[in-house]
Structure 1
Amino acid sequence: MPLDTQHSAASSEAAARLEPREIPLRGMRGMIATKMRESLQSAAQLTHHADAELAAVHALRGHCRGVGLPPPSVQDILLRLVVQTLQDFPALNATLEDNRITEHPAVHLGLAVPLPDDLLLAPALFDAQAIELGTLPGARRDLVEQARAGKLSVRELTGATFTVTNLGRSRVHHFTPILNVPQVAILGIGGVQARVLSDGAGGVRSTEVIGLSLTFDHRAVNGAPAAAFLDRLVERLEGLAPDAFDHELR
C-alpha cells in the first residue's frame, strides 16, 4: 500500500475514534436515571460525614487468625455493625411514602452492586439483623451473584429499608450518596486513609481511618439523630473487643 494511502487510512481511523459516542437513556439505564432524578426532586437530602479509626477492626481480624477463626473483611464487620446500630435508631431504618413514615422492625439491608456498563442496583439482604458475621459473607456474595446474573426478584430489588454503598477500594474518602427512595437514609463507605494523630500525651501516632457518609431525608430525620447514628457507629467500630464476634464465627 502506498505511503499516502496508508496515511489516509490511519487518519480516517483516528478521526473515527474521536467521534462522540451516544448512550441512550433507556432500558435499565433509563430506569435508574429516572429514579435518581426523582430521588433528588422528591426528598430533602442532607449528608453528614465522619471518620472512624480501624485499629480495633484490625486487632479483631488479627485475633481471629490467632485462634483459628476465619478473619472477616472490614466491609462485613462494618455491615454487621451498621445493622446493629440501625436497631438502636429505628428512625433511620424507615421509609417515607404518601406523607407517612414507616419504621421497620426488621433490617432489610440494601447493598449497592455495580453491574457492567456502570449500572448500579441495590438489592435487599432480608432480615439482616438475624444474619451472624460468620454467614454474612456468603449471603452477601450470593446476593451479588444473583444481581449480576439478572436473577433478582422485584421484591429483592425494591424491599430494602436502608442501603449501604461502598467506594472503599477507591481514593474517595467521603461522598454524597443519593437516597434510594422511599428509604430515608443511605450510608456511603469511603476509602481508607493513613493519618497521623495526637496520642494525647504530647506525641503522635499513626493510624488508618475509613470515611463514612450518611445521607438522610430531612423530612423524616433531623440532623441530631442522624449525627447520633454516625457517632454510635463510629463508637462501635473503634471500641470493638478482639473477641467481639468469636461466637458468630465459630
Structure 2
Amino acid sequence: MPTEILMPALSPTMEEGTLAKWLVKEGDTVQSGDLIAEIETDKATMEFEAVDEGTVGKILIAEGSEGVKVNTPIAVLLEEGESAGDIATSAATPEAAPAADAGTEAASSGGSDTPAAAATPAPAAPTAADGARIFASPLARRIAADKGLDLSSLSGSGPRGRIVKADVENASAAPKAEAKPAAPASAPAAAAPAGPSADMVAKMYETRSFEEVKLDGMRKTIAARLTEAKQTVPHFYLRRDIQLDALLKFRAQLNKQLEGRGVKLSVNDFIIKAVALALQAVPDANAVWAGDRVLKMKASDVAVAVAIEGGLFTPVLQDSELKSLSALSAEMKDLAARARDRKLAPHEYQGGSFAISNLGMFGIDNFDAIVNPPHAGILAVGAGSKKPVVGADGELKVATVMSVTMSVDHRVIDGALGAQLLQAIVENLENPMVMLA
C-alpha cells in the first residue's frame, strides 16, 4: 500500500517550513536513514531522512515551496511490487488530504507508514483507559482495527514511541480496553486583540511610495513569539549601574597572559560568567515557567542573543558556572559564528533559564529586553562609558559605568528575589577575581 512521506517537525516550535531541495527524484529507491530532502525551518536548513524503505512514487511538493505545514504529505513512497498506478488521485493533491494529527505525532515527523490512499479512512486516534492519547500512524490504526488489536497493549518502535505498521503486523489480537469518555470541550477563550490587517495598512499608504518586504520564516517566528511574550508574560524591570574599572583592569591582565594561547576575553564573557555564578548563588531564580508549575534548574544554562541578518538566535551555553572564562569565550565565538551561518542545531539554541542581550557595542546606554519564554529573565546590557561618581570616601571621581536592566517574569521571580539576583551579578562584575575562586 503506498505510504505518504509527511513534512517533518524538525524542532518543537516548528509549524511550517520551506522544502528547500529534494535529494531524490521520482523512481529512486531509498532505504531507512537515507537523506531525501533539505528542509528550511525558521532557524536553519536541515537534512531530512527517510524512516522507511521503498521507491519514490510521486513528489507532491516541489522544491522551493514555502510555508509547507508540518504533517502535510510531501511525497509518496511505494513498497515492493507497487507502481505509480496504485497512488489514488486524492494522494496526488495534498490540499485534499485530511489534516494530520498535531502535537506529539507532528513532532515525531516522518510518519512514512501513513498510507497515501486506502479504501476506508483510518480509525480516529485511540485513547488509553486513563484518557491519554495513543500515538499511532493511520496505517497502524487501520491494521489494528482489522485485526481486532488493542493499541494500548502495544509498544511503538517508531519515532518517539509511535506505533507503526511493523508493530501491529507482528502483534496478536487481544481484547480492546474500554476507552474513557472524552471530557466536554470547554468554551473557547476570547481571541486576543489583533492590529489592523495587511490590506488596511497598505490602504493607509496607497498614495505613498514603498517597497514591500516579504517575511521569511525567522521573521514570522520572531514576530509571533515576541507578541506572545509581551501579551502573556507579566514583565517587571530592575535597573542598576555597574562600575567596570576593576573588571577592565583585570581583563587586560588576563588577556596579556593569554595572548600566547590566542585567547582574548571580552567583557561579554565576564557577563556570562557573572550571570551563571549568580544563578547558583540565588538558586530560586534559576528557574523556568512551565504552565502549571515552575522548574528549578540545577545547572546555569545561559542563553546569549546573537544578531544575524534578518533576525537573531539565542544560543545556549550549558553548565556555564563550571566553565572557565577562556572556555566560555571559545564556545561563544563558535556558537555566534555558526548562528550567523544558520548552522546551529535546535538543541544549541533551545533551553536555558536566563538570557543576556548586549547592545553596548552599538553605543546603546540602556534598554529593556523582552523575556523569551520559558526563561525567567533577561539581562539587557548597555555600553560602558566614563561618568562622574561619588566614591565610598565621599569624593567625586570618574569611573567607567555600565547600565543594565533585568526584565523578569513575575510568575517565576518576585521583586525581592530578582533584586538578590541582580545584586549577585553586580558583585561578580565589580569584583571579577571572585569569579575565579
Unaligned runs of 5+ in 2: 1-207
Q: Where does residue 266 of structure 2 map in the other structure?
A: 73
8 Å CA contact 1:174, 1:213 repeated in 2: yes
Q: Where does residue 75 of structure 2 map in the other structure?
A: none
Q: CA deviation at 1:152?
A: 1.5
Q: CA deviation at 1:27?
A: 1.1
Q: CA deviation at 1:95?
A: 1.1
Q: Where does residue 427 of structure 2 map in the other structure?
A: 235
Q: Deviations over 1:16-65 (max 9, x none)?
A: xx831222344110011100001111110111111100111022123335
Q: Where does residue 112 of structure 1 map in the other structure?
A: 305
Establish whether residue 216 from structure 1 lines up as the match of residue 405 from structure 2: no
Structure ranking higher in helix proportion = 1
Give the Cα–Cα distance (whole angstroms) in 2 for the partners of residues 135 and 65 of structure 1: 14
Q: Structure 1: which 4+ aligned runs deviate by more than 6 Å?
A: none
Give the Cα–Cα distance (whole angstroms) in 1 for the partners of residues 377 and 302 of structure 2: 11
Shift in alpha-carbon separation, 1:29–1:239, aligned structure 2, 3 A: same
Higher RCO (C-alpha 8 Å, min separation 6)? 1
Q: Where does residue 14 of structure 1 map in the other structure?
A: none
Establish whether residue 23 from structure 1 lines up as the match of residue 213 from structure 2: yes
Shift in alpha-carbon separation, 1:151–1:47, aligned structure 2, 3 A: same
TM-score calculated relative to the size of structure 2 = 0.49
Corresponding residue to 1:37 among 223, 227, 230:
227
Establish whether residue 51 from structure 1 lines up as the match of residue 241 from structure 2: yes
Q: Where does residue 315 of structure 2 map in the other structure?
A: 123
Give the Cα–Cα distance (whole angstroms) in 1 for the partners of residues 255 and 412 of structure 2: 43
Shift in alpha-carbon separation, 1:19–1:155, aligned structure 2, 3 A: same
8 Å CA contact 1:54, 1:238 repeated in 2: yes
AA partner of residue 268 (structure 2): Q
Corresponding residue to 2:282 among 89, 102, 111:
89
Larger radius of gyration: 2
Give the Cα–Cα distance (whole angstroms) in 2 for the partners of residues 185 and 210 of structure 1: 19
Give the Cα–Cα distance (whole angstroms) in 1 for the partners of residues 254 and 374 of structure 2: 39
TM-score calculated relative to the size of structure 1 = 0.83
8 Å CA contact 2:229, 2:373 repeated in 1: yes
- Give the CA RMSD over aligned residues: 2.0
Q: What percent identity do the matched residue pairs reach?
A: 29
Q: Where does residue 171 of structure 1 map in the other structure?
A: 363
Corresponding residue to 1:103 among 296, 308, 311:
296
Give the Cα–Cα distance (whole angstroms) in 2 for the partners of residues 175 and 65 of structure 1: 29
- Specify the SS of the correspondent of 2:285: coil
Q: Deviations over 1:176-205 (max 9, x none)?
A: 110110111111111112111123445321
8 Å CA contact 1:49, 1:174 repeated in 2: no
Q: Where does residue 160 of structure 2 map in the other structure?
A: none
Q: Deviations over 1:150-175 (max 9, x none)?
A: 22222222222211111011232221
- Specify the SS of the correspondent of 2:284: coil
Give the Cα–Cα distance (whole angstroms) in 2 for the partners of residues 200 and 144 of structure 1: 39
